[in-house]
Amino acid sequence: METLLGLFEAARWAPSAFNAQPWRFVYARRGTPAFERFVAALVPGNQAWARGAAALVAVVSQEVLTLPGQSAPAPFPSHSFDAGAAWAQLALQAYLWGWSTHAIGGFDAKLAREALALPDHHHVEVFVAIGRQGDPAGLPDWARAREKPSDRRPLADLVREGSFAG
């Protein structure tokens, strides 16, 4: 629990537009009824490996909120972007402490909503599996085949000076 709280502490210091902090986290530890509900919301391919995690965390963003100085709630355009920054900070802190994290976008939105008792105007961005690196031998064949370092596009594909035409 201390570790999880430390990870949320890292996440909560992420920057956000107007410092609105539109991220929310709902956690479930393995062996609890909530964990089973979270697992059941995942698509079967993700259930196969994610059920071995020590904890699952739902990263939720608030789509509509009342900004400081405003009197009424309004759609908040950067809710997903800001929640993404928070998740990245959580993942980096976990890595520094020797834990693995794996974001999971493959879930049933309706089941996730029910599992979390999600309030209106909230959006489930991802579930995050958190745990110690396991032995790939325990994985199904298709999942074991993925267990190799992943690459990234070169900077030349990603970066332009001035405009896309540049």
Residue ranges in contact with ligand FMN by CB under 6 A:
46, 102-106, 126, 150
Smallest distance from ligand FMN to CB 22, Å: 16
Helix (H, G, I), strand (E, B) or coil at 117: coil
- Nearest approach in angstroms of CB 144 to ligand FMN is 13
- Taking the least distance from each CB to ligand FMN, the nearer of 105 and 138 is 105
Tokens representing 69?
């100085």
Integer Cα distance of 86 and 69 in angstroms: 24
CB of 55 to ligand FMN, least distance (A): 17
Spatial distance between the Cα atoms of 83 and 126, rounded to a whole number of angstroms: 10
Q: Which is nearer to ligand FMN, 28 or 90 (CB)?
A: 90
Task: Please report the DSSP string for 78-94 in residue order.
Answer: THHHHHHHHHHHHHHHH
Nearer to ligand FMN, 52 or 106 (CB): 106
For 130, other C-beta atoms within 10 Å of its C-beta total: 21
Q: Of 21 and 101, which has the nearer Cβ to ligand FMN? A: 101
Q: At its nearest, how many Å lie between ligand FMN and the CB of residue 67?
A: 26
- What's the token pair of residue 125? 């961005």
